[in-house]
A and B are shown apart, each in its own frame.
Chain A
Amino acid sequence: MDAVVRFRAAVCLLGRFPALAGVDLDVAPGEIVLLQGPNGAGKTTLLRACAGLVKVVDGDAEVLGVDLRADPRPVRPLVGLLGHATGLYDDLTVAENVRFWTRAGGAEEADARAAMGRLGLDGRLASVPVARLSAGQRRRTALAIVVARRPRLWLLDEPHAALDADGRDLVDALMADAVAAGATVLFASHELDRAEAVAHRSVLVAGGTATATPPVVPVG
């Protein structure tokens, strides 16, 4: 089967700064891959590049069959990115946000409701404006949007951060369910104990580079 992510010596610039200075990465379908590395290593940029948000200016980069150097835009509807910023409208309620972003992605309202239920947002919280939520609750809302869109590639930037213990277990369960349903997960984390337990393998990102490790066929 074709690789979901295939980067060879990929270079990404943020302004004039080379955030990625030559990344090699392979991710096979159905894998859960952990990106680890020090702060400023380029993990966030790598995830955003896979989402088609950052232009790859040198090397080869292919995600889900889309050549990111030619035109990264076609990859965007196929991926789900959970970034550091929430991407939510503060003055709208949780339900209104999830519904808007789900419908924007072409999914149905039923998907939105199901996702909110999965993330524990369908009770009292559904009609609370996002501005009044805690950081963890906002993260859950953003995660609900990713879940509702059912992307083929999940890109999660420190998904465990800001969540309580229940939330973190939920994230692990969601990642496992996604892979069971045929998706692939690439996530960055500093919580190495929990992350390495759920990931099939990990990749070290440092100084804008990542070295390729051969994909391991997932067990179970």
Chain B
Amino acid sequence: MAEGAVGSVLRDARLVAGKDLRLEWRTRVTVSQLLPFALLVLVLFAFALDPDRRILGEATPGLFWLAVLFSTLLAIQRAFAVETVDGVVDALRLSGLDPAGVFLGKAAGIALHLLVVEVALGVGVTVMYGTSPSGPLLLVATALAATAGLAAAGALYGVLAAGLRVRDTLLPILWLPVVAPLLIGATQAFAAAYEQASGSGWRWCGLLAAFASLYAAIGIFAFEPLLEES
């Protein structure tokens, strides 16, 4: 019995994520808008801080994740903007899709877009800030865990804000304090990887994984009532 329920949730998640990826393929919003935005943020940081490479190099982990955070805001808003027009949200409620599956599908879509942005940003900081990556295993694990947490919390708060007229100004103040711990953890883990002092880095990575699991669990239960009210 439970097997079937999990199976249908995953099936619906695959369906929704596939639909979001197909939408991305048609409109190329991530490639043509999100990536340039992320790279622009890196350039703006250089304007704000002394482009003396030492300072940028030292601050690379934090600046990288800050750029990711701002890009995620756009990704979340985009992910739910497509669902709140033309009665699509009614269609989602009527469709027979398991809301937990819709949550996982939306989160997976956001996460995949984020991973593309992170790869581009990784190249960007290496080139523009002159840092050379090291500790690749920790970097990858951290990126995966942090991305999962950002996407899970993003899908949850995204659906909460989606139905409101003030969603564009409300989403940042609701979501950013929630993922501030992710910013702290991912920055520390990246800093540890770059300095090759990985011990504490893995502990931060563990915190990120715990956060992602917690928000995945919350989202699985809370998405349905929030979708009903959108």
A contacts, CB < 8 Å to B: 51-53, 76-77, 79, 81, 83-92, 96, 100-101, 103-106, 129
Contacts and interface: CB of A to CB of B under 8 A. Distances in A.
Contact of A89 (B88, B90, B95): B88
B97 interface: yes
Contact of B12 (A53, A83, A86, A104): A104
Most buried by A among B27, B90, B95: B95
B139 to A, nearest CB: 34
Given A76-B96, A81-B94, A104-B96, 9 more contacts: A53-B90, A76-B94, A84-B87, A86-B86, A86-B87, A101-B91, A101-B95, A104-B95, A129-B26
24 contacts: A51-B94, A52-B94, A53-B93, A76-B94, A77-B96, A81-B90, A83-B87, A83-B90, A84-B87, A85-B90, A86-B86, A86-B87, A87-B87, A88-B91, A89-B23, A90-B86, A91-B82, A92-B19, A92-B23, A101-B95, A103-B15, A104-B15, A104-B95, A105-B96
A29 to B, nearest CB: 21
Contacts of A83: 87, 90
A87 B88 contact: yes
B85 interface: yes
A148 to B, nearest CB: 12
Interface in B92-150: 93-97
A86 B85 CA distance: 9
Listed from nearest, the 8 A-B pairs whose CB atoms lie closest are A85-B87, A87-B91, A104-B95, A77-B96, A105-B96, A87-B87, A91-B26, A104-B97
A91 B27 contact: yes
Contacts, number: 59
Contact of B93 (A76, A92, A96): A76
Contacts of A84: 87
B86 A85 contact: yes
Contacts of B94: 51-53, 76, 79, 81
Contact of B22 (A52, A77, A92, A104): A92
Nearest to A83: B87
A107 to B, nearest CB: 9
A32 to B, nearest CB: 21
A100 B95 CA distance: 10
B165 to A, nearest CB: 14
Nearest to B12: A104
